[in-house]
Amino acid sequence: MTFFPHLIAGPIVHHKYLMPQFASTSNLRFRLDNFSLGLFVFSIGLVKKVLIADNLGHWANAGYASEQTLTMIESWSTSLLYSFQLYFDFSGYSDMAIGMGLMFNISLPQNFNSPYQAKNIQDFWRRWHMTLSSWLRDYIYIPLGGKRAALPRIYFNLFATFLIGGIWHGAGWTFLIWGALHGAAVVLHRCWQDIGLRLPSWLGWGLTFLFVNFAWVFFRAEDLPAAQRMLSSMSGLSGGGIGGTGSALLPLEALLSLGLASLLAFLAPNSQQIAGLVPHQGRLRFREGLIAAALVGFAFFYALVAQIQNTPSDFLYFNF
């Protein structure tokens, strides 16, 4: 309870994972390698939160506050801005928790594994909030019967697990619908697999991301009518027209931020891969030395200055 790095928003860790590490006397010694690696991961998380997520959130919040007047392009951009804000905000917090844990010689599990690079919805949930997915599997899906049942019962178990997962985030219709949407998508994917159908990887990735972005509208909206208004604008049925770029709600700065976030989420290795904490075939990897120290120092200082200059904002998952 007193290990503050993961106390409020995860990663969700079972006591049997942490207690042996707390009891190990070798973890009581200061280790420069763990401290430097932890500071590196922490700095990545800080940059994600302060320089990326908070910047995206400024434009996403403005869009959701004006969902009744958005054009089609503005509403789609707003939904995408929030999708990336949520990812960089929550994965940033997880990186900061993991990094701080490493500074104390404590290993915390990976919580995000480039979820927006997932090729299907099942793959997405293996990559998004991984410790919550494991918790839902161990304490809801398996007790319901898991895969040890007839096929209709398996489908029910999957749907019920995600429905409960939606309610876990909040007791409102929007969260219930969000959970139901993901439950239905996972069941549909399982049916698709059971009859032996396959999609090209690029098409599976595109459909998965579009669905996840669509479902996030319910997750973000203040209430069900607000979600309906946003979806109406996204479909072009609100009367706002198609619109264009350069408006007060969608200036060039917002588009550039959205483009950068898209490239990082879709193409770049994640922080755990760069830090060498999980297997990774790419060349971009943390190595101790002056260059790494300079990059970490610059990123940390720049994010800290930005945090001081701007109004601090809480991590989004503190609300759930």
189 classed as catalytic? no
pLDDT, tens only, 88-122: 999 999 999 999 999 999 999 999 999 999 999 99
Q: CA-CA distances (angstroms) from residue 151 to 147, 198, 298?
A: 8, 20, 54
Burial class for 43, CB neighbours closer than 10 Å (0-12, 13-18, 19+) = buried
Please give the share of the chain, as a percent, with pLDDT higher than 90: 55
Q: What is the pLDDT of residue 287?
A: 63
Least confident of 106-120, 190-204, 253-267, 297-311: 297-311
Angstrom distance (rounded) from CA 39 to CA 224: 41
Average pLDDT, the chain: 87
Q: What is the pLDDT of residue 264?
A: 95
- CA 298 to the chain's CA centroid: 25
Q: Is residue 176 scored above 60 in pLDDT?
A: yes
Q: What is the pLDDT of residue 141?
A: 96
Q: Is residue 276 scored above 60 in pLDDT?
A: yes
The pTM of this model reads 0.90
Please report which confidence band the pLDDT of residue 68 belongs to, taking 50, 70 and 90 as the band edges. confident
Q: Is residue 297 scored above 80 in pLDDT?
A: no
Give the residue, 305 or 261, on which the prediction is more confident.
261
Q: What is the pLDDT of residue 277?
A: 81
CB atoms within 10 A of CB 68: 13
DSSP 126-176: HHSSHHHHHHHIIIIIHHHTTTSS-HHHHHHHHHHHHHHHHHHH-SSHHHH
Handedness of CA 27, 33, 36, 41 (dihedral sign): negative
Query: Which is the catalytic residue, given 169, 182, 189, 280?
Result: 169
